[in-house]
Structure 1
Amino acid sequence: MTAQLVPGDVLRKTDKILFIAHLALGDFTYLQNCFQAFAQAFPDIKIHIWVDEVRRTRQVAAWPFLKKYALYDWLAECPFVAKVYQQTYSPDLYEKSIAEAQQQDYPLVVSLSTLRPPMYATMARQISPRGFVVGMKKPAGMLALHKHLAYRKLDAALDPDRGVRSGMHISDVYAGWFQQLFGMTSEPASRFPFVHIPPQWQLAAQDQLREWGFKYQEPPAAGKLLFINPYAKNNKRCWPLERVVELVAAVNQLDAWRGAHFIVNVVPEEMENAAKFFAPYTAQQVRLFSAQENFFQLPAMLLECDLIVSVETAVMHLANAVRVPVVALMRQKNPEWAPIDQEHSVVITTASRRDWVKAITVAQVVEVLGR
């Protein structure tokens, strides 16, 4: 068996570790288990996480949305994370964060960034000139001199594709990384996503449902609660709002769903447009929801629902985390990102690998709901 990339004597001398990653919510949903397992295996090492914002920009208008990234709320509640670098969304703040990290004099830095690994190899060494630095390394051509020079800054390199086989789930891939890095092994059952929702956000979700007349009032409202998420960061993974309206009408015709209530999840920056679009449909028990105040508003609302229909984004993984059944609408491109809880998840996949999620029809979703 190949030796772990981070030597045992380095770990024994380390009091804190910096993980660098361009984390999306979906990434953290599964990497969280790895970080927690690391904290349990090495309780004397404090975990610091650098969340690199790949959308970093000088455009001031974009900063409010980048600054309010929901993942920061989640990380703030993780008991095994001691420090988070989250001011990386502008070039100036990025440089200030680099200087702050350099002051920590990290004995161990690990980059888990698969995008532009040479850049992150250089960045990791910049943060820790004297520490043990590990980073991702992908094959580079003979003429890619700048990449080879960047990789030389690493004390050890991790091939993110090593050991990856067809059919592997992303949680298995991440577990494999930590095994290569630190010699850590884990059982598949320990890779299931989880989220601990603070009580105040559970109460807030219940209050919102009561205000909408969906739940928690006297007399109690009849009808199931269906959560629909048509939004993703990439247009290829979004579902048209027109399909959502069609789905609401179709579901209302199903015996098991008569009198249902519908919550449509909207990303904060699209709320104004969505409100105009759905204004004619509020009488059909459709309400718009957006976790604009805090990340935990989202899992708290998911927890209250009977079923979740979501495009391929973090919502379908959070559905598994709160143990609510989910119908996932996915392209063929990334099957490793399917919801992990197969017993409580149904995946509807596009017919062609080149198809966008919008190719999935309302009839396909209704067929699943009608079973």
Structure 2
Amino acid sequence: MRVFRELKQLYPMPNSALSWLSSMSIISSTQLESAKRLLFISPVALGDFLYLKTFLIALKKQNSHIEIDIWLDDNRNNSDAWRLSRSKIMQQWIEAEPAFTRSYGCCSSEKQQRAQIFDAQAINYDLIITHSGSKSEQFSNVAREIGPDAFIVSSIGKSKYFGLIDSFLFRHSDRLFKLEENNLPAKHHITDRYYQLLNRIVGIKLDKNDFMPSLTIPNEIAIITQNWLKTQFTDSGRQGPLIFLNHLSTNSKRDWQESQLFELIKLIGNKSPDSRFVVNVTKENYKKVSDAIKNNINLASLQVSVFTVNEHFFELPSMIASADLVITVETAIMHFATASNRPLIAMMRQKKPYWAPPSSQTSRVLYASKGKGYVSDISVNQVLDTYVEMTR
């Protein structure tokens, strides 16, 4: 890093000394030993948390005496159904992970957020880590409100004005962390980024082979999934491959069109009439998509059912784990498929390639390279050709 290069030029030191300095974490081992509670503040989505939790769990294993809590609120303070629903299932997931003690969800109003900050203040956090891109300054401020006496480290994205005013913008934080992209492999994965984050801030050590996540489905949820499949696909003579499809995201640039989805189902169904298709949607889109499928004459003879999470987060990864093939746009679903070792066709934009699932014989990524570079620019025939190649 630059500071160590400058130190070496001004005050020559043995390589071993520089190595020792560069290996020091921002939060020292002494601070970790004396801390009782740590709050991690980040408005993570499902895919983020899937990969991030590996390293937070490692932190807990290496510091078992520390309570680790997660703050999910994104400071929007609105009643958008999708964000509140996602927040709820995120909290269900966090609750199921033994490494974490408590979580704080997204708030629907400023009044609710103030009450949540008040509740967090009562915990008396010793350490707070914030991790965000565009809202780094806001989370730095929230962190100081929650922990007036806490040691706060803010992980920030690109600095404004070449970093000249970072000390002012993040005056509520004790230290800052910026990702050192030059120290990452050219074709790195998001897990490499998260490892650097937690390695540099709290000094966790983890073997590269342990970076990728896994998902353990509770038995009671797996039973619910199998019962649902039995009630949806009742023809004992047509129990073909189960294909899980997801065409929507939280960003229209990452969506596939409904017409494309239906065309793909029709074409796959023509090749494999006993296939079972599960179309995943959020609760807000359930009726619309269900009605569209019922009214589509091209799908009338095919086995197509619409799925949405009803009660618990694990219903989604459980359904994915039951699939013979997952076809999805760029959402957490492609990451759950990877964690569950399911054959996968993922459709992505070419931005942030480090989010792409690691390539393998059973995992293919199709990138939007035409038109505006939106996922909908990936044609039905591209996906169908990939499907045919993978199922030969």
Aligned equivalents of 2:302, 2:268: Cα separation in 1: 11
Contact 1:320 1:341 in 2 (8 A): no
- Please name the residue that 1:33 is paired with: 54
Cα offset for 1:262?
Answer: 0.5
Q: Please, which of 80, 84, 106 is the counterpart of residue 99 of structure 2?
A: 80
Give the structure-1-normalised TM-score: 0.92
- Percent identity (aligned): 27
Task: Tell me how far apart the structure 2 counterparts of residues 87 and 211 of structure 1 sit (CA, whole Å).
Answer: 35
Using the TM superposition, give the Cα deviation of residue 220 of structure 1 relative to its aligned residue in structure 2, in angstroms: 6.1
1:289 aligns with 2:307: yes
Deviation at 1:152, TM superposition (A): 2.2
**2:100 equivalent to 1:100:** no
- Which residue, 353, 368, 373 being the options, matches 1:355? 373
Residues 185 and 65 of structure 1, relative CA distance in 2, 3 Å threshold: closer
Amino acid at match of 1:131: A
- Tell me which moved more, 167-176 or 130-139: 130-139
Q: Give the 3 Å change call, closer, same or farther, for CA 362–65 of structure 1 in structure 2.
A: same
In structure 2, do the counterparts of structure 1 residues 142 and 314 end up closer, same or farther at CA, with 3 Å as the change threshold?
Answer: closer
Structure 1 CA distance for aligned equivalents of residues 228 and 46 of structure 2: 24
Decide whether the 8 Å contact of 1:275 with 1:288 is kept in 2: yes
Shift of the 27–64 alpha-carbon distance from structure 1 to 2, 3 Å rule, reads closer
Q: Matched residue of 1:253: which SS?
A: helix
d(CA) in 2 for partners of 1:222 and 1:142? Answer: 60
Q: So what's the TM-score if we normalise by structure 2?
A: 0.87
Q: Per the alignment, do residues 186 and 352 of structure 1 end up closer, same or farther by CA in structure 2, a change over 3 Å counting?
A: farther
Q: Secondary structure at the match of 2:111?
A: helix
The code of the aligned residue for 2:276 comes to H
- Structure 2, unpaired ranges of 5+: 1-18
Does the C-alpha gap of structure 1 residues 189 and 126 become closer, same or farther in structure 2, counting only changes over 3 Å? same
Q: Match for 2:45 among 24, 40, 54?
A: 24
One-letter amino acid of the structure 1 residue matched with residue 267 of structure 2: A
Cα distance per residue 1:161-205 (max 9 Å; x no partner):
553454221111001101101122222221212222111111111
Contact 1:140-1:148 at 8 Å conserved across structures: no
Are residues 1:196 and 2:210 paired?
A: no
Change in 2 beyond 3 A, CA 1:94/1:309: same
SS of the aligned residue for 1:252 comes to helix
Cα distance change, pair 143–189 in 1 and its aligned pair in 2 (3 A): closer
Q: What corresponds to 1:14 in structure 2?
A: 35
Q: Relative to structure 1, is the Cα distance of residues 225 and 266 closer, same or farther in structure 2, using a 3 angstrom cutoff? A: same
> Which residue of structure 1 aligns with residue 263 of structure 2?
246
Q: Is contact 1:332-1:353 (8 Å) kept?
A: no
Q: Distance in 2 between matches of 1:107 and 1:26?
A: 28
Match of 1:263 in 2: 278
Over residues 211-243 of structure 1, what are the superposed CA-to-partner deviations in whole Å (9 max), with x where a residue is unaligned? 0126xx8x4643111111001000000111111
Matches of 2:199 and 2:315, distance apart in 1: 34
Moved more, 102-111 or 220-229: 220-229
Local SS of the residue matching 2:41? strand
Comparing 277-286 with 79-88, greater Cα deviation is found at: 277-286
Paired residue secondary structure (1:342): coil
Letter in 2 for 1:267: T
Question: Which of 246, 251, 255 is the equivalent residue of 1:234?
Answer: 251
Question: 1:67·1:87 contact (CA, 8 Å) conserved in 2?
Answer: no
Equivalent residue letter for 1:102:
Q
- Tell me if structure 2 keeps the 8 A contact 1:121–1:136: no
Secondary structure at the counterpart of residue 243 of structure 1: helix
Q: Show the counterpart of 1:91.
A: 110
Secondary structure of 2:199's partner?
A: helix
Which consecutive aligned stretches of 4+ in structure 1 deviate over 4 angstroms post-superposition?
A: 142-145
Matches of 2:267 and 2:177, distance apart in 1: 49
Of residues 277, 294, 304, the one that matches 1:279 is 294
Equivalent residue in structure 1 for 2:344, among 318, 322, 326: 326
Partner of 1:155: 174
Which residue does the alignment assign to 2:200?
180
Is residue 84–residue 107 contact of structure 2 (8 Å, CA) maintained in 1? Answer: no
| Structure 2 Cα separation of the partners of residues 348 and 338 of structure 1 | 10
The alignment partner of 1:92 has SS state of: helix
Q: Which moved more, 1:238-247 or 1:333-342?
A: 333-342
Amino acid at match of 2:67: K
Query: Which range moves more in the overlay, 62-71 or 308-317?
Result: 62-71
Letter of the 2:317 partner, please give it: P
Letter in 2 for 1:264: V
Equivalence for 2:357: 339
Contact 1:14 1:107 in 2 (8 A): yes
